[in-house]
Copies of this chain bind each other. A is one copy, B any other.
Amino acid sequence: MTEEDRKTWQAVQDEVRRCISQRIWKPGELIPHEAELAQQFGCARATVNRALRGLAEAGLLDRRRKAGTRVTLNPVRRAEFSIPVIREEIEGKGQRYDYKIFLREMRVPPPDVQARLQLSGGISILYLQTLYTADNLPYAFETRWINSNAVPDVLSADFRSLSPNEWLVREVPFDGGDFTVSALTATEKEAGVLGCSQGASLLALDRTTQHDGQIITSVRLAFHPGYRMHTRL
C-alpha cells in the first residue's frame, strides 16, 4: 500500500471503510494495528485512532485492548429514526399544520398507564386527546397522560397556540425515556377521528419521557393509514 500523501482522519476512515466493504479485510479478521496503519497512511497514531473509533461506534469494527481490532463478524445493523415533531413534519411537506384538542381533563389512569408513569393508584392526572391535521386532513391522533404532580404548571398552560407536545418540549427538560413502535387496529373512536374505517391498520408510537427520575408524560400517537417511518442505512 505505502501511501505517500498524508491523510486526514476522514480519509483514513474512508479507506478503512473501503477495505471492509470490499472484503479486503474479511469479517472476523484482525486488521493491522494503529501504529502500523499510521505508518502506512503517513499520519499520527492519534489520527488513525480517531478514524477507527468512529467505525467502532458505527458497529463496523470491534476493538479490544491488546487483542487488537477486527472487522465485526455480524455487524448489528442499526436504524436511526428522527422522532417526528409533528408540526415540523407537516410544515416540511408544505402542508398547513393545525391541531384540535378534543378532551382535557383530570382522570385516574388505567393500570397499565399507572405502571408506565410509576404512579400509585387512585391519583388523577391530566389526560388529553389531540388530533393533528395536515391541510385539514387528519394526520395523527394523540392520547397523552401528563404527570401533573411532577409538572404542576401544565394545569395552567394554554394549549391554544402551542400543542401539548410543544409546550412540554419547551417547558420541561428531559433526560430519558423509551419508545415503542407497533401496529394497531383502529378502534371506533380512532376511526372516527382519523376518518378511516374501523379496523384499519395504523402505525402507533408509544413514548414515555422522564426527567430527574420522574416520568413526566406517556403518549401514544396513532397515525393515519399509510403513514411510514423511513430512514437510510
Q: Which positions in A face B, CB cutoff 8 Å? A: 17, 20-23, 27, 74, 76-83, 85, 169-170, 173-185, 199-204, 209, 211-212, 225-233
Contact = CB atoms under 8 A, between A and B. Distances in A.
A79 B22 CA distance: 29
Contact of A74 (B85, B180, B185): B85
Contact of A79 (B80, B203, B211, B228): B80
A181 B232 contact: no
A178 B211 CA distance: 33
Contacts of A230: 178-181
Given A21-B175, A176-B232, A185 B201 contact: yes
Given A83-B77, A83-B79, A203 B182 contact: yes
Number of identical protomers: 2
A233 B74 contact: no
B233 A178 contact: yes
5 contacts: A22-B173, A177-B233, A182-B229, A183-B203, A201-B201
Nearest to A169: B74
Contact of A184 (B201, B209, B211): B201
Nearest to A230: B180
A169 B181 CA distance: 25
A184 B183 contact: yes
A80 B80 contact: yes
B82 A78 contact: yes
**A27, A80, A212: residue with the most chain B Cβ atoms closer than 10 Å:** A80
Contact of A179 (B181, B184, B232): B232
A86 to B, nearest CB: 12
A175 B232 CA distance: 11
Contacts of A173: 20-23
Contact of A200 (B178, B179, B185, B202): B185
Contact of A211 (B21, B177, B182): B21
Contacts of A174: 21
